């Protein structure tokens, strides 16, 4: 009888915990949607508030909300012309292996776009090499950036082959 009571108590605790998690995620979701609306409002004060909200979500939300919050934070900073500041949240997302691969890869692409003019072409090629292959979801963008970097290095033949591959890819 004591064991049954313990199992029931444990089950009740689990249900309570799940309910609290769902409630917390609902609050974060509501904050996220409000921040999205504010970010697109055209009002500088609301955009600044949304930046703070995304920064908080990027630190305190669940894994998915953290990745999304940091990505939105970086995007808003880039929109404001703060390229150097925008690159940092993208770098965080790209480096966090707990985040989904799609978020990490997208962050690498966005970070590279922001930093492209200050990077050495060889560094661009190295950073994007895993994505600049046929069949990769970001092949088109990674391939174009890699091809441009190859041209800057005078690697015309390699760049031409990559651009040809991009043109022939049916998925891009």
Q: Are 162 and 150 in contact (CB under 8 A)?
A: yes
Instruction: Give dist(CA 3, CA 16) in Å, integer.
Output: 20
What's the pTM value of the predicted model, to 2 decimals? 0.78
Instruction: For tokens 């504010």, name the residue.
Output: 38
The Cα-based distances of 145 to 9, 101, 115, 123, 142 in angstroms read 57, 20, 12, 11, 5
Q: Are 80 and 91 in contact (CB under 8 A)?
A: no
Lowest-confidence segment of 90-94, 144-148, 167-171 by average pLDDT: 167-171
Q: How far is CA 142 from the centre of its chain?
A: 15
Average pLDDT on 14-41 reads: 68
Q: What pLDDT is stored for residue 170 in this prediction?
A: 82
Q: pLDDT tens digits, residue range 114-147?
A: 999 999 999 999 999 999 999 999 999 999 999 9
Lowest-confidence segment of 51-60, 104-113, 130-139, 153-162 by average pLDDT: 51-60
> Higher-confidence residue: 63 or 86?
86
Percent of the chain's residues with pLDDT above 90: 53
């Amino acid at each position: 009888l004591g064991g049954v009571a313990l199992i029931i108590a444990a089950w009740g605790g689990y249900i309570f915990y799940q309910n609290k998690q769902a409630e917390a995620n609902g609050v974060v979701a509501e904050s996220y949607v409000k921040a999205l609306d504010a970010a697109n409002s055209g009002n500088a004060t609301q955009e600044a508030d949304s930046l703070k909200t995304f920064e908080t979500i990027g630190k305190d939300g669940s894994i998915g909300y953290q990745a999304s919050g940091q990505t939105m934070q970086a995007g808003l900073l880039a929109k404001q012309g703060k390229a150097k500041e925008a690159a940092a949240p993208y770098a965080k997302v790209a480096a966090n292996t707990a985040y989904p691969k799609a978020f990490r890869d997208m962050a690498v692409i966005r970070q590279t776009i922001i930093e492209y003019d200050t990077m050495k072409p060889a560094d661009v090629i190295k950073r994007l090499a895993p994505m600049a292959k046929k069949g990769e979801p970001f092949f088109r963008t990674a391939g174009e950036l890699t091809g441009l970097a190859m041209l800057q290095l005078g690697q015309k033949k390699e760049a031409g082959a990559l651009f040809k591959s991009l043109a022939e890819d049916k998925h891009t």
